[in-house]
């Protein structure tokens, strides 16, 4: 009787583990990292100050935009140690009029975006290739489910600013154009997949392949 009961209950016991997987829960209130030379991974709590939990690096608007009119400042435990072990990170993104944040996805995080200023065409594509997109404005919030491709474009007449928050301290990011044409995938495969000529593929590679540092 008991083995059968266990088998019946097993899916219900496993579901919470699969459904609610995320960054591990911290075992202490916080853990401000110490230098690698220090054998203790966390700063002594008695030496932690309010400044360890304050970050001022996203106050200013972007000055140097990319050629697609986009600039972002990712904030994670590397740049803001106070986030360490808290299971979150965030980003400030600025877009010039007509600027885009190309299609990309975060394999380890759901993202919440809040429009600080401007008017942005924003959306994501689900696993059935259905597009969920709207123009969102100052004060609007949108969710991008984990692992789904999403994008933004400034459709206003002035600069737009977005604040994004992730439910992982290391969400990861893969930009679709860079993945396709900047990763060294076989040319013949790309030619057959996209119906592009070798010349067109070469042109795309020149744009997205990482530049070599001499």
Q: Which residues are annotated as a binding site for oxalate?
A: 101, 106, 111
Nearest Cα to 173, choosing from 190, 152, 149, 154? 149
Report DSSP letters for 43-98, one per residue.
--GGG--GGGG---TTSSPPSS--TTSEEEEEE-TTT-GGGTTSS-EEEEEEE-TT
Beta bridge pairs of residue 203:
none
The burial class, CB within 10 Å (0-12 / 13-18 / 19+), for 83 is buried
Nearest Cα to 117, choosing from 64, 75, 63, 156? 156
Residues comprising the binding site? 101, 104, 106, 111, 150
DSSP state of 159: -
CB 126 within 8 A of CB 150: no
Residues comprising the binding site for Mn(2+)? 104, 106, 111, 150
Neighbouring C-beta atoms of residue 143, cutoff 10 Å: 12
């Amino acid at each position: 009787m008991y083995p059968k009961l266990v088998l019946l209950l097993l899916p219900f016991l496993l579901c919470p583990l699969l459904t609610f997987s995320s960054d591990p829960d911290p075992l202490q209130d916080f853990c401000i990292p110490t230098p690698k030379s220090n054998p203790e991974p966390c700063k002594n709590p008695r030496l932690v100050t309010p400044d360890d939990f304050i970050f001022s690096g996203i106050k200013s608007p972007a000055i140097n935009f990319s050629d697609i009119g986009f600039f972002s400042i990712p904030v994670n435990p590397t740049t803001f140690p106070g986030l360490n072990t808290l299971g979150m990170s965030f980003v400030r993104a600025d877009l010039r009029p007509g600027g885009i944040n190309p299609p990309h996805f975060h394999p380890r995080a759901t993202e919440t975006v809040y429009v600080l200023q401007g008017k942005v065409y924003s959306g994501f594509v689900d696993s059935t290739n259905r597009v969920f997109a709207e123009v969102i404005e100052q004060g609007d919030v949108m969710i991008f489910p984990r692992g789904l491709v999403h994008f933004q474009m400034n459709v206003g007449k002035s600069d737009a600013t977005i604040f994004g928050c992730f439910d992982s301290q290391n969400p990861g990011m893969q930009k679709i154009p860079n993945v396709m044409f900047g990763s060294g995938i076989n040319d013949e495969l790309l030619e057959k997949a996209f119906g592009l000529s070798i010349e067109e593929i070469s042109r795309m590679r020149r744009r997205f392949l990482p530049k070599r540092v001499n």
